[in-house]
Amino acid sequence: PYQSCTPVLIAGSRDTDVRTAAYDLEHLCKGKRVLDLGCNTGFLTLAAASYGQSALGLEHVQALVDIGSRVTAFLGVSNCDLQCGDAETFTRDTPFDVVIAAAIHGWMTMPLPDLGRHFASLTSAGGAVLFESQGQRSTTVVEEGFQDKVAAVAAAGFQVERQGLLCDDAVNKRAFVILRKDA
Per-residue pLDDT band for 151 (boundaries 50, 70, 90) equals very high
Tell me the C-alpha distance between 84 and 39, whole Å.
10
Residues 6 or more apart whose Cβ sits within 8 Å of residue 61: 40, 84
- Does residue 183 carry a pLDDT above 90? no
Tell me the C-alpha distance between 17 and 6, whole Å.
8
Apex 39 CA angle, 16 and 54, nearest 5: 85
pLDDT digit string, tens, across residues 154-178: 999 999 999 999 999 999 999 999 9
Share of the chain above pLDDT 90, in %: 98
Q: Is 0.75 surpassed by the pTM of this model?
A: yes
55 alpha-carbon distance from chain centroid: 11
pLDDT digit string, tens, across residues 69-93: 999 999 999 999 999 999 999 999 9
pLDDT digit string, tens, across residues 18-75: 999 999 999 999 999 999 999 999 999 999 999 999 999 999 999 999 999 999 999 9
- Does residue 16 carry a pLDDT above 90? yes
